[in-house]
Amino acid sequence: MAINLEVPKKHRALVDQAHQVAMNMLRPISRKYDIAEHEYPKELDMLAAMIDGLSESGASEGAGATGVRRDADDGDKKASVKNGANLASVTSVAEMCWGDTGLLLSMPRQGLGNSAIASVANDEQLERFKGRWASMAITEPSFGSDSAAISTTAVLDGDEYVINGEKIFVTSGERSDCIVVWATLDKSLGRAAIKSFVVEKDTPGVKVERLEEKLGIRASDTAVITFTDARVPKDNLLGSPEVNVEQGFAGAMATFDNTRPLVAAMAVGCARASLDLTRDLLKEAGIEVDYDRPAILQHAAAAKFLQLESDWEAGRLLTLQAAWMADNRKPNSLEASMAKAKAGRVGSDVTLSCVELCASIGYSEEELLEKWARDSKILDIFEGTQQIQQLIVARRILGLSSAELK
């Protein structure tokens, strides 16, 4: 099956629209909400309504968090190549993060919880949770990237699950309508018993304890949420309620195969913002980046810029590949982790290096370069850290289980 990693023709209008939104709506309010941490960006309501309208009309081609889904089999069309919802999502998300990553994460109904629902919900659940804003609650005080260590419990009682536990670093935890909560049905059965549940925010026993003050993505609210005997309808369990020990953690981890390319795309967009501005500032300083001459024959700053840009391009291509594979129903766990690892690291390297290349302008609040350096750091951490992604890649390449390679 051939793959062309240029932006597909049918998605170009969408990408152009996202770029215009990033430039004209997000950039102008970027600094305002970076300073006013925890204040809700009201300007996003109109933008979210526009996106909802495009989705209803089909004009968005499945872009955004709710577009992340594996298409059904096509029967006789299995051999055809698709550029579908996942590719539309990563390309549009990258453009929006060229504007502002924190504001993109604050967009109503475009949270990572929405991605989780779109990834694994059945058709009835997709319809029932349509139009809701979902945050995602995985991390707990006792662990970071090791999702298998989840201790939040979900115990079936009649037609409801009773959930108890504490979740930290819940993006949009205060603003969302509902939360996708990862919990274990039976701790003794290990990873296979971990399931995700959609929990309404007004459920008795659900409490937002506090909001975190953070290094970056300050426009996005990040909450600590506790669950005390919170009762959830059993139909709110996403995917199969069966515990398949042979399948292990694969059911829950399927969510990450679709959301990790999204986070990689965020890093790609934020890093490109830094590169674009740095190129302009270098030019103003009399340093022209020449793509027709070897880097070694150019100014040291230009040579460094070319190296950063080549690293960025590798991250971008891996991200597009992971999304394309999801659109074409190919297993992409390895590629999703490779994309997240490369783009996450490159995002941090590029944005911080651009601060350095631009000296005092980069370090001051005169431009957004220092902000992008702060924002990009989280993209190398959440949805699985750099180190976890490298561990997953090693396991896949070597054919080893999580027990065999820790």
Cα separations (Å) of 133 from 120, 171, 404? 16, 11, 39
Q: Hey, how many other C-beta atoms are within 10 angstroms of the C-beta on 233?
A: 14
Determine the number of helices (DSSP H) and then strands (DSSP E) in the chain.
13, 8
From the list 200, 209, 383, 404, the catalytic residue is 383
Burial environment of residue 24 by CB neighbours within 10 A (0 to 12, 13 to 18, 19 or more): exposed
Q: What one-letter code names the amino acid at 287?
A: I
Q: What does the alpha-carbon distance between residue 116 and residue 133 come to, in Å, rounded to a whole number?
A: 12
Q: Hey, how many other C-beta atoms are within 10 angstroms of the C-beta on 272?
A: 22
Q: Which helix (H) or strand (E) holds 350?
A: helix 333-357
242 among known catalytic residues: no
Q: DSSP letters along 227-272, please?
A: EEEEEEEGGGEES-----TTTTTHHHHHHHHHHHHHHHHHHHHHHH
Among all residues, which ones are annotated catalytic? 383
